[in-house]
Chain A
Amino acid sequence: MKKLIMILLFITLLVGCWNSHEIDDSLFVIGAGINRSDGDLIFSTESIKPTSAGTSPQGQTKDNVILQIRSKSMLNAGRQFIRYAKRRLIFTHCRTWIIGEELAKEEFVKQLDILRRHEMLRLNSYLFITPGDPLAILENPSLYDDLSSMEIISAINQTEYNAEYPVINLREFYRLLEEETRNAHLPIITTRRVDESTVTSLEGTAIINNNRMVGKLTINESVGLNILLNKAKGGSLTVELGEDEEENWATVNVKDCYAKIKPRLEGNKVKVDIQVNVVGLLGEYVTNDEVSEDFILQVEEKASEVTKELVHNTIKKLQQLETDAMKLGVYMHRKYPKEWQKLKDNWNEYFKEADVSVRVEHDVRDPGLLMNNLQQKQENEPDRSLYSIF
């Protein structure tokens, strides 16, 4: 009995009074935005509204609470929020971080130190850059989720079907920055008017070098970057067939894509051979040609051309920005570990001058049982009416 009491006493001494914090004394932040204005940080948060707003007669009201504060440091801001919120802010579910372009063009990565230091903040949250005000993104009415931040996060699961934006979580972001090439890229988020309402949209990629944003890639260039980083696993590619006035095009439903990057060092010149293999299905086509071996070959050829141009443009843009976001340096390091020691200090210079040759091979498979377009079937093959019901 004495032993038992001793053990129980020790248990209580070991931990002290653990921090138990009631949920109704907390405000759950699920998205945060940071921007720079007149030397101070503008810190905005989107939190869960603890009481459900329900549907008001005017229409759906959002279940969120938006707060904004001006402060020198982020931790400080987090504490100052208590003055407004009257509750402690809990950041454990904050997975969306939106950084304004104003701030991004400074050495913003240093400002984000707290993101990897504080125990509440999670490395599986996602960083975005917005050209406008982060508050606008957080305040923007969402399409379906109650909270804009959650809606943005759901985009990360859809890369299987779309390669037009990169997906970088905080952990990945820091990993990129600590790699040999010391640069990173983040998705750009912006608002866009569609019909009557505004929606948030992921458009393009921000390139980060030396802890600051140095430039942007367009949506197409983002695809190119994803291909080069072997992250483009799905998407679609439309190719024009012939230069007739008539509509004549086909879309390849991309199912897999694999890029092989082989750098060579010739003297002081870096040369790169890039081989991209794309596997796709014939997604749709508007053409008068019959689907045949030749037709498929034609599509493959055209698609390869388009992809090649895409990749070329991306590399050109990256070279302009003097940022090796495609991780060529990592391949160099692997192949020439000794030489790399000399190259790495001025690597971006070498990268800028690198000679790039790209080869793309498309493999279009499975045109399906439906061989030809509807119109042709009626003209040329009346006896195959059995299939026309499909």
Chain B
Amino acid sequence: MGSYNNVHRVIKRLQGKKKKQEAQHSDSSHNDSLSPNLEENVTAIKQILGNSPDVRIRSITIPLTKNKKIKAVVLSIDGIIDQQAIREHVIRPLKEEPIDDVGELLDAIQQRIYINEVTVTKALKESLPKVLKGNTLLLVDGLTEGLLINASKYESRSIEESEAEQTIQGARDGFIESLQVNISLIRQRIADPHLHFETFEIGEITRTTVVIGYMSHIVDDALVERVRTRLQDIKVDSIESSGDIEQHIEDHPYSIFPTIGNTERPDVAVSALLDGRVIILINGTPVCLYVPYLFIESLKNVEDYHSRPYYTSLIRIIRFFAFVISTTFPAIYMAALNFHKEMIPSDMIVPVVQAREAVPFPLTLEIIITIIMFEVIREAGVRLPQHIGAAFSIVGALILGEVAVAAGLFGAPTIIIVSISFIAAFVITPITDVTALLRLLFFIGSSLFGAYGLFVMLLAILTHMVSLTSLGVPYMSPLSPFYLRDLKDTIVKFPKRWLTHRPQSIPNKKPKKVESLPETGGKQ
């Protein structure tokens, strides 16, 4: 225990140092309020922002009544503001007619501006970051207050369908990098005052805008509060992508299972909202996170909700078996061949034996090499530009599939088993990464201890899975904890008519979602 205390002491000391440094830092920047002298302000701004080419400082003169004039400065960043709006709705109205110089000048100026979002600011240091996020700062000579005019306009790509999540039926739009657009995509779909968004600014340097959204009359308040505090507690320099947020707030950062869902489709985000989930949008990424995320969702697909229930159920069962096969097939093969030879079907034994005989490596090595080669080919196929990638896949398939077997380096059954395992993983795209890791884990277990090792690994992984939570919600629900009602949309999907309630596994305030449906029938 002694060493433990020492460690604690060291940590405390380090933390203490940090605090001191922060205190010193804030001391040095005491001079924050705006000076009445315009020139002084401009020099201060130039000092802080440097000589960046995109910083635009435009001096204007505002005519006042009685032929008086006053100097002003418009500060904006090129490329992230709407130049035309500033010219038409800020500068022109100020210059057109003299302003009555009675009472508060700033109020009078504010009246003239035709832009909705205008705030008064007193501190220069505070307003500059806002300028950097697309506000325009209007400073008037002689006044210690400035106006922050929000007329931002970013360059963004047009709305396209997400490449990762495509459907045959269903919406064709996808999230883009612009937060405003993303919010509008959701707002378009839910015209309800209960749809609330909250804004956070995370990252000392990047000051990334993060928005959470929820349906205030459906969502569990504790869940929203949990998301809110987690986001507020992130004190980092930068947020570069949704992955940062995901890994900063998830319950089990060391687990191989993702406990936060992500989508690029507004319709998925909307159905998440309507289930009582919280969505998290991050400026600059086209990915929307949502919590809680349950394991069973990796076996589902948007398409499932557009199609009729029977085929959907079949496909879901296939996806489930694909997951099992993909993770355990090499392990079972290993256990059967090296440990429990009676497991090999008698009719299959001749080809298996003859294929193994030619291979120079032990079976464990053979399978491991094959798995790694497949991973390499898969990764190369994903990373390479598309036109080279396709060619590479063919080369990889030819080398592994044909030549390696013909040369007697690998047995055909091994290649078949590993490729089935890999192909099956592509059916369940949300957790392909998890599948790859589990496949290796199970394989190591079974290569050391046969079926016993496989089952110990399976049990360990299952135990781990049931202990996972996604922001407080059990990851394996509705299977564990068991919710009978949710089974109507778990592995088998029941007809839509029967799905009258929101999933119980996700805590919500409004369980019922279908009030009544029209009576239908043939003879009427």
Contacts and interface: CB of A to CB of B under 8 A. Distances in A.
A30 B447 CA distance: 26
Contacts of B358: 51
A93 B354 contact: no
Given A48-B349, A146-B350, A147-B350, A24 B342 contact: no
B353 interface: yes
Chain A interface mostly helix, strand, loop or mixed?
A: loop
Contacts of B448: 18
Contacts of B347: 150
A103 to B, nearest CB: 26
A15 interface: yes
B456 A52 contact: no
Contact of A92 (B341, B449, B450): B341
Interface in A15-32: 15, 18-24, 26, 28, 30
Contacts of A22: 338, 356, 362-363
B354 A15 contact: no
Given A15-B449, A18-B449, A93 B362 contact: no
Given A15-B449, A18-B452, A48-B349, A24 B341 contact: no
Given A18-B450, A18-B452, A20-B450, A51 B341 contact: no
A138 to B, nearest CB: 16
B438 interface: no
B339 A18 contact: yes
Contact of B346 (A18, A24, A51, A93): A93
Given A24-B359, A50-B353, A90 B341 contact: yes
Nearest to A52: B354
Given A15-B452, A51-B357, A52-B354, A21 B346 contact: no
A20 B339 contact: yes
A213 to B, nearest CB: 28
Interface residues of B, number: 26
A24 B338 contact: no
Interface in B464-507: none
A19 B335 CA distance: 11
A249 to B, nearest CB: 40
B218 to A, nearest CB: 40
A63 B356 CA distance: 15
B452 A122 contact: no
B337 interface: yes
A95 B346 contact: yes
Nearest to A122: B342
Contacts of A369: none
A15 B339 CA distance: 13
A194 interface: no
B222 to A, nearest CB: 31
Given A18-B450, A20-B450, A26 B354 contact: no
Given A93-B344, A93-B349, A150-B346, A11 B356 contact: no
Contact of A23 (B356, B447, B452): B356
Contacts of A11: 449, 456
Nearest 5 A/B pairs, CB to CB:
A92-B342, A50-B357, A23-B356, A20-B338, A52-B354
12 contacts: A15-B449, A23-B337, A23-B353, A48-B353, A50-B353, A63-B354, A93-B341, A93-B344, A93-B349, A122-B342, A146-B350, A147-B350
